């Protein structure tokens, strides 16, 4: 099975323009950008509760502390939130109809319990199909996150920590080698 597509900036803009036109635009924008700007897995995003993301005073936390139950591999991890994603999550959080810390952060129209990992995978598939981005899946944001940071010179050990991987070779498989990174590397001499 081929790996999920790494999106270009242009493709990401198309996806964001597409979700802006649809129902639940704020939620869908926050979902897409959480995937692309934090590298979180879909299952991790589905497992988020309001209290994982939002402080008691309504501000967005600097980091998300995922429990072992919320992650793959039965090991908790910390997801760092940069300023850009914190601003986006703040906009989305303002649309939530509750501040109950135990409620799902990403609500689902059909379930009071929010998305499951599977329904969120299907939701991403639908968004990419509507945007006309072929080859993208729920893992595209995570692969794009890791590849983009690698292209900017971030070391594999740091990428490994950000991705929550235990093995460096796992992280290396996420990095798409492309003309941009080859050119940058060739110009290092």
Give residue-wise pLDDT tens across range 102-124: 999 998 877 677 899 999 999 99
Residues 84 and 176 placed together within one structural domain of the fold:
no
Residue 118 lies in a domain: yes
Number of independent structural domains in the chain: 2
Same domain for 149 and 128 = no
Rounded to the nearest 5°, which phi and psi values hold at 129?
-65, -45
| 170 inside domain | yes
59 pLDDT above the threshold of 70: yes
pLDDT at 109 (0 to 100): 78
Same domain? For 86 and 157 the reply is no
pLDDT at 1: 59
Q: Provide the pLDDT for residue 169.
A: 81
Domain identity same for 72 and 19:
yes
Pairwise CA distance, residues 84 & 91, whole Å? 11
User: d(Cα 60, Cα 43) in Å, to the nearest integer?
Assistant: 20
Give residue 79's pLDDT: 95
pLDDT > 70 in the chain, percent: 99
Please determine, for residue 92, whether its predicted confidence score (pLDDT) is greater than 80. yes
Task: Tell me what pLDDT residue 161 has.
Answer: 86
> pLDDT (tens digit, 9 = 90+) per residue, 17-44?
999 999 899 999 999 999 999 999 999 9
To which residue do tokens 């290092």 refer? Answer: 188
The domain containing residue 102 runs over which residues?
9-134
Give me the chain's average pLDDT, please: 91
Q: Are 83 and 51 contained in the same domain?
A: yes
Overall average pLDDT of the 49-66 stretch? 96
Say whether both 120 and 148 belong to one domain. Answer: no
Alpha carbons 105 and 96: distance in angstroms, whole number = 8
pLDDT at residue 132 tops 80: yes
Start-end of H helices in the chain: 9-20, 25-38, 42-47, 50-53, 83-93, 117-131, 140-151, 156-163, 168-174, 179-186
Judgement on whether residues 70 and 149 belong to the same structural domain of the protein: no
Residues 110 and 173 in one domain: no
Compare 132 and 151 and report the one with higher pLDDT.
132
Q: Tell me: do 162 and 177 sit in the same domain.
A: yes
Residues 130 and 146 in one domain: no
How many whole angstroms separate alpha carbon 154 and alpha carbon 158?
7
- What confidence tier does 188 reach under pLDDT thresholds 50, 70, 90? confident
């Amino acid at each position: 099975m081929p790996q999920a597509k790494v999106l270009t900036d242009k493709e990401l803009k198309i996806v964001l323009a597409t979700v802006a036109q649809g129902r639940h635009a704020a939620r869908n924008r926050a979902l897409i950008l959480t995937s692309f700007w934090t590298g979180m897995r879909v299952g991790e995003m589905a497992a988020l509760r309001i209290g994982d993301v939002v402080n008691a005073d309504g501000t967005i936390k600097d980091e998300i502390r995922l429990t072992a139950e919320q992650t793959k591999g039965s090991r908790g991890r910390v997801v760092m939130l940069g300023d850009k994603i914190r601003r986006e999550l703040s906009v989305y959080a303002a649309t939530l109809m509750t501040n109950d810390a135990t409620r799902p952060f990403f609500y689902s129209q059909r379930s009071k319990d929010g998305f499951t990992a599977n329904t969120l995978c299907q939701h991403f598939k639908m968004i990419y199909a509507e945007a006309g981005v072929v080859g993208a899946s729920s893992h595209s944001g995570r692969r794009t996150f890791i590849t983009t940071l690698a292209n900017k010179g971030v070391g594999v050990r740091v990428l490994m920590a950000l991705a929550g991987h235990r093995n460096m070779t796992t992280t290396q498989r996420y990095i798409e080698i492309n003309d941009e990174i080859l050119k940058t590397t060739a110009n290092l001499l």
